[in-house]
A = this chain, B = another copy of it.
Amino acid sequence: MTYKFCSHCGERTITEIPNGDNRERTVCRSCDTVHYQNPKLIVGCIVENNDQILLCKRSIEPQLEKWTLPAGYMENSETTAQGALRETFEESGAVVKLHGAYRLFDLPTINQMYLLFRGKMISCPFLPTSESSEVRLFRQDQIPWDQIAFPVIVTTLQHYYNDTDKNIFSFENHVITLK
């Protein structure tokens, strides 16, 4: 969200290149505050249970009723792993033991990054949550490919099943350019 008003003093902001900088920022001339805006990190998890993984059916916009991996914005004061575990629990009720970071996707056209972990399901009550109308385990041949919420999740699942065939799950960093 852009800063129409200064969050520090409430005055109207302007757009300019500050001294010593090389790009346009939202700036308050009244209190000399520069309002930097930076990409946000979304953390999530591929939750494994033998040959199945967990998907959540979204009960909120955007992409209502589509299936996704549990994931959401990382919060202040937590680690990436804590964020992935928290989002997984909040969206699916699943308690997970993480194996480690699996994929980092840069989405520069929407100022987001996705960091997906892999983890083993320890327990899951399989109850709907406030964010998911349905939580289910899927084998590879059951994945609803045409009902997946976001391109980055489709790509994550494609990478995951490619790696499953090889049984090698090294960390990789990729860019996804959305139209």
A residues at B contact (CB < 8 Å): 1-13, 20, 22-23, 33, 35-41, 73-82, 90, 100-101, 104, 106, 108-109, 111, 113, 115, 130, 170-171, 173, 175
Contacts and interface: CB of A to CB of B under 8 A. Distances in A.
A113 to B, nearest CB: 7
| Copies of this chain, tallied across the complex | 2
Interface of A is mostly: loop
A130 B40 contact: no
Most B CB within 10 A of own CB, among A13, A80, A170: A80
A46 to B, nearest CB: 15
Given A10-B11, A10-B12, 11 more contacts: A4-B10, A5-B5, A6-B7, A7-B13, A23-B75, A38-B76, A39-B75, A77-B108, A80-B113, A100-B173, A101-B173
B10 A10 contact: yes
Nearest to A12: B10
A106 B6 CA distance: 29
